[in-house]
Amino acid sequence: MLRLALKMLFGDTAKYLMLVVGLFFATFLIVQQASVFCGLMSWTTSTLSNVGAPIFVVEERVEQINETNPLRDTDVARVRSVAGVKWAMPLYSGIQRVRLDDGSYKTVQLLGIDSASLAGSPGRMIEGNIEDLRLPNTVIIDELAVTRLARSPDRPIRVGDRFEINDIEARVVGICDAKRSFTGGPYVWTTYERALQYTPASRKMLSAVIAASADGLTPSQAAVEISQTTGLRAFVNEGFGDNPNDFNTSTIWWYVRNTGIPVSFGTTVIIGLIVGIAISCQTFYAFVLDNIRHLGALKAMGMSNPRLSLILLIQSATVGMIGFGIGLLVCSGFAYIAIQNQQPPFMMPWQIPVAAFGIIQTICFIAALLGIIRLSAYEPAMVFRA
């Protein structure tokens, strides 16, 4: 019966291809747009990944990492004084403009970390030594900066090159691997004290205090203790999930609630869904109508409604799997190019293809259901009519 169902399906080449193309298109739109959305959302938390501290302490009204309500420098000492804190260091994070040799300006995400401990330094150095950050007027740049701050397309920036931040010299002593920022500017690390020199002065300059929990305490427990003791807001940095005290979770939900990004991507995903439903249901229904006499003849010859329904379900599920497979394959190609070029943002957690597969199979089930309803209402005696 499986063979019969598939041969009937593949035999009608035009409708089969139309179904596959419709479902491929729907799969591609859903998976690609959802993955770009997740990628973009992951970029919003890239400072958290790049700094990598287990606890971030910020001003009490701050909801997301890219929002800066500066603290007093004394707040570092207040956090250190909390019993559950192993260590606490200052962090500067802000957007600054870099002046290149040719006089042009580029925006960068400047991070200032504690010069003694270097807590918050890049996770992986590609070139140079993190210790060199203690030398005068030095910075470490990420890989994106190599091309973004290049002197010319043929002359990328290298270790030893110089540029200016706020008229103060910055000498590149290292290149590191870093997650790309939401604003698109490359990350530049320097010491906290030097970051304050690079930044136009204001009364309060401390962006956050990064900390770690004392032995025997989880970061969540320490964060609660910090909040209760200092009145500041302490987030843990464990990754997006269902913990509202996680800075990644809080940041991503802030962007979901306060920007039009989810609406924009969601609209495209819904369009993909509608296109998939429209093309697939219409084409599959036309396929059933084209074959109604043959299916009716099978019914007259003694094939039961459940077995006829099974034929339609097999056919629709098959085109669903093929369309989904091609869509996912093309999306993987898109992902490969995106990752090579570092843009557009792309992140495909396993939930996206699983959800897309469920959606596509639901579309196919709806399409099959329409055919089943039509076929169930078809009297086998109709096949005797000329």
Partner 1 sequence: MNEQTGRRVVTVRAVDKHFGTGPTRIHALKNVSLEAFAGEILMLVGPSGCGKTTLLSAIAGTLRVESGEIDVFGKPVHAMRNADLTRFRAAHIGFIFQQFNLIPTIGIAENVAVPLLIRGSRTAEAVDRARAALESVGLGARWRERPLKLSGGEQQRVAIARALVHEPPLVICDEPTAALDARNGEIVLELFRNVARSPDRAVIIVTHDNRIFSYADRIARMDDGEIIEETLQPRTEPPHFIHEHAHAVSSA
Residue ranges binding partner 1 (CB under 8 A): 1, 3-4, 7-8, 10-12, 291, 293-294, 296-305, 307, 379-381, 383-386
Q: How far apart are CA 336 and CA 343, in angstroms?
A: 10
Is the CB of 181 or the CB of 318 nearer to partner 1? 318
- Minimum CB separation of residue 378 from partner 1 in Å reads 11
- Minimum CB separation of residue 298 from partner 1 in Å reads 7
- Minimum CB separation of residue 7 from partner 1 in Å reads 5
Is the CB of 6 or the CB of 366 nearer to partner 1? 6
Is the CB of 261 or the CB of 292 nearer to partner 1? 292
> What does the radius of gyration of the chain's CA atoms come to, in whole angstroms?
29
Is the CB of 250 or the CB of 291 nearer to partner 1? 291
Q: How far apart are CA 140 and CA 278, in angstroms?
A: 53
Is the CB of 8 or the CB of 48 nearer to partner 1? 8
3-state secondary structure the chain: CHHHHHHHHHHCHHHHHHHHHHHHHHHHHHHHHHHHHHHHHHHHCHHHHHHCCCEEEECCCCCCCCCCCCECCHHHHHHHCCCCEEEEEEEEEEEEEEECCCCCEEEEEEEEECCCCCCCCCCEEEEECHHHHHCCCEEEEEHHHHHHCCCECCECCCCCCEEEECCEEEEEEEEEECCCCCCCCCEEEEEHHHHHHHCCCCCCCECEEEEEECCCCCHHHHHHHHHHHHCCEEEECCCCCCCCCEHHHHHHHHHHHHCCHHHHHHHHHHHHHHHHHHHHHHHHHHHHHHCHHHHHHHHHCCCCHHHHHHHHHHHHHHHHHHHHHHHHHHHHHHHHHHHHHCCCCCCCCCHHHHHHHHHHHHHHHHHHHHHHHHHHCCCHHHHHCC
- Minimum CB separation of residue 17 from partner 1 in Å reads 14
- Minimum CB separation of residue 363 from partner 1 in Å reads 23
Is the CB of 159 or the CB of 300 nearer to partner 1? 300
Maximum Cα–Cα distance across the chain: 95
Is the CB of 2 or the CB of 270 nearer to partner 1? 2
- Minimum CB separation of residue 16 from partner 1 in Å reads 10
- Minimum CB separation of residue 312 from partner 1 in Å reads 14
Is the CB of 90 or the CB of 296 nearer to partner 1? 296
- Minimum CB separation of residue 310 from partner 1 in Å reads 12
